[in-house]
Chains A and B, each alone.
Chain A
Amino acid sequence: MPAAGADSLNHVSVRDTDWDGVRLHVVTGKGGTGKTTVAAALALALASNGRPVLLMEVEGRQGIAQVFDVPPLPYEERRVAVAPADDGRPGGDVFALAVDPQSALIEYLEMFYNLRQAGKALTKLGVVDFATTIAPGLSDVLLTGKAAEATRRKSGGRFVYGAVVMDAPPTGRISRFLNISSEVSGLAKVGPIRGHADTVQSVIRSPQTAVHFVTLLEEMPVQETLDGIAELRDIGHGGIQPGGIVVNMMRDAELTGRQAAGAAGKISLGSKTRDTHALELALKAAGLGDDAGLAADLADELADEARTARSQRAQRRQLDEAGQPCYDLPLIKDGIDLAALYRLAQALREQGAA
């Protein structure tokens, strides 16, 4: 946990971003889209504003520890990185926390009922396991509750964290995860859980919270993103605010898109007998003239690429229709390390995401 007053007031950001006023950034995405990496990059990008940022994960995967290459995270807010300086202003710290429902429940008992010892006894008896695994709504309330608590936590009259970033469950589960009150209402109509859920809900549904979607330009992740955004909007009483769409793992623009499509067009895309004469001439000029079949093979490769580019453009159009800001992040070829995260954070800042 950061010490109170660790940063000074003159570090307040003056940049305009797309999400000014948002303090809880929920990051979701289909499996395989790089959701954890994007959450980590977003946390670094936000911390560049000079204030500490808390990055939390809720699924027990220890993905944050892997991304930052640190030992598995305990249930404790630990500093994992410092954001790069921005305009000569020092960057803020990124703290990380792995939340699990059991620890959150014990903390909750302690905070609200001073029941620490009871919590330990309950754990031994398997009650905690029971309460958190069998009543899924309860588990989600505890996880989102921790995020809400960190978002609202104050020390000396100001927020301890400039922002909280949550590496949330995948897109297919996100609206249920966040729509706590309806999950809980079936279970608990009155009582302390209900009261807690209502408090958490007031944070999640406020303009302080935005849900960002990580996707690739492929059909299934794009479809899930669009479904997820629609579901958030459909949640009653004004819904939950959808955030940006992060298109992750984009390959070099130079080699994709129009150029490849245009080139492939010249060798008649899709036809069985391609006219590869122009390509043969070029290969000959490049000193590769003695491989007779090469032009045809490279033409096949181009045609594949053009088809991929075409389907990506179609997916991009679909995303545009969602009406949310889109941010592109490049494909990192050699594995994610801190340098790569800085690069991604920079890309997010340049595009106004943080």
Chain B
Amino acid sequence: MSSDTTPLVVDQLIDDRRTRIIVCCGSGGVGKTTIAAAIGLRAAERGRHVVVLTVDPARRLAQSMGLSSLDNTPRLVTGVRHAEPAGSMHAMMLDMKRTFDEIVESHADPDRAAQILANPFYQSLSSSFAGTQEYMAMEKLGQLRRADEWDLIVVDTPPSRSALDFLDAPQRLGRFLDGRLLRLLVAPARLGGRTGLKMLNAGFGMVTGAITKIIGSQLLRDVQTFVSAMDTMFGGFRERAEYTYRLLRAPGTAFLVLAAPEPDALREASYFVERLERDDMPLAGLILNRVHRSPAARLSAARSLAAAETLQGLDDGESTALGMTALRLHAERMRQAESERRLARRFTAAHPLVPVGIVPAQPDDVHDLNGLRLIGESFAAT
């Protein structure tokens, strides 16, 4: 990295006992889950008691941490190297429907809870509402923090189509469930019969009329039943959303924005950095993942290609062919490294105060704790 960039040293972050939550965010495909797991392992092997909350891990990565089932419960990861003082690592996968169900079960009496869980509208909301996954990830984060069994929580964010969604999601769902519109919709059901009808003015009639046309009366009835059943929980939802939001802004939380050294991912990272700054979220820095470096960087691409051409004019013996392959490959890698550096410089020019850390590209996919450990080595100060 160029000398004018502040280096991001993840080890400092995880060695600081005041750091209680690390949120990894960034667009899809940049390796969020892998980096979150690598941070978790590194921290555990440096004496922290860590839980990694992952939203959507690749199967083999999950297996590498010993997670085979999606059961919404933190599981102990075995094979963590002993540190002094001893650390530990748990990992869990988020089951958003299960998490939502648990909220309902803990806030309503059994009869009412059963009624809500069986409602078709609730089932759709809890398993596929665009903001539910984000909301439940944040809800789970709040729960883990309150449980206070771990001194560090590492969470990767859902692969939202827009990386910013997860900040809005709790408020959006909270606002919706708490909203006037929903109350308006259920007014007739709640007031019941004729009293309800009297309340309707022309405008409201048009609204419900149109809604009935769009979604059909049966669905509207489901919504109404659902809202009546959930009524007592609404205030709770908004409160929880606000609690999580405050938690994210509190000292002790650190946001890491992840990107691959590619134009799209870095553009997303820029948006994300700006959004975090606007919301006063504690941004620790940017991690550039899968960066290409050469152990022979002293040989430039141009010289390497020139040398390969010299060889081309010689006899085609085995060592000549080998040399040509090696030199062309090296030139290619140097060019790639240069174009990645150019992209990184562009980011730094726009965000000069954001520390940047580098994780080198791994020749193989990560399958086990050793692979995670190897990534973790790049978290050290250089």
Given contacts A286-B310, A301-B296, A302-B325, contact A131 B365 (CB under 8 A): no
Closest to A125 in B: B207
Contact: A282 with B319, CB < 8 Å? yes
Contact: A193 with B215, CB < 8 Å? yes
Query: How many angstroms between the C-alpha atoms of A124 and B242 in the bound complex?
Result: 26
B interface: dominant SS: helix
Q: In whole Å, how far is A133's beta carbon from the nearest beta carbon of chain B?
A: 6
Closest to B336 in A: A333
What 1/0 mask marks residues of chain A from 97 to 134 whose CB sits below 8 Å from any chain B CB? Answer: 00000000100010001010010011001110011011
Q: Tell me whether A263 is interfacial, beta carbon within 8 Å.
A: yes
Closest to B120 in A: A186
Query: How many angstroms between the C-alpha atoms of A133 and B134 in the bound complex?
Result: 14
Q: In whole Å, how far is B174's beta carbon from the nearest beta carbon of chain A?
A: 13
Query: How many angstroms between the C-alpha atoms of A78 and B215 in the bound complex?
Result: 31
Q: Which of A153-167 contact B (CB under 8 A)?
A: none
The count of A-to-B residue pairs whose CB atoms sit within 8 angstroms is: 212
A interface: dominant SS: helix
Query: How many angstroms between the C-alpha atoms of A69 and B359 in the bound complex?
Result: 31
Closest to B264 in A: A32
Closest to B182 in A: A130
B contact residues, range: 35 or more
List, in ascending order, chain B residues with CB within 8 A of A127's CB.
181, 207, 210-211
Closest to B30 in A: A32
Stretch at the interface among B43-51, B56-64, B88-96, B99-107: B56-64
Query: How many angstroms between the C-alpha atoms of A136 and B130 in the bound complex?
Result: 7
Cβ-defined partner of B307 (8 Å) among A61, A218, A281, A288: A288
Contact: A118 with B28, CB < 8 Å? no
Q: Tell me whether A71 is interfacial, beta carbon within 8 Å.
A: no
Contact: A61 with B161, CB < 8 Å? yes
Contact: A188 with B296, CB < 8 Å? no
Closest to B267 in A: A66
List, in ascending order, chain A residues with CB within 8 A of B121's CB.
135, 187
Contact: B299 with A288, CB < 8 Å? yes
Given contacts A176-B128, A219-B365, contact A138 B215 (CB under 8 A): yes
Q: A residues touching B (Cβ–Cβ < 8 Å)?
A: 30-33, 59-61, 105, 109, 113, 115, 118, 121-122, 125-127, 130-131, 133-139, 169-170, 172, 176, 183, 186-194, 218-221, 223, 251-252, 254-255, 259-260, 263, 266-267, 278-279, 281-283, 285-288, 291, 294, 297-302, 304-305, 307-308, 311, 333-335
Q: A279-B323, A286-B327 are in contact. List 13 more A-B contacts (CB 8 A).
A: A118-B210, A127-B211, A133-B131, A133-B172, A223-B60, A254-B328, A263-B326, A281-B319, A282-B320, A286-B323, A297-B295, A301-B326, A305-B329
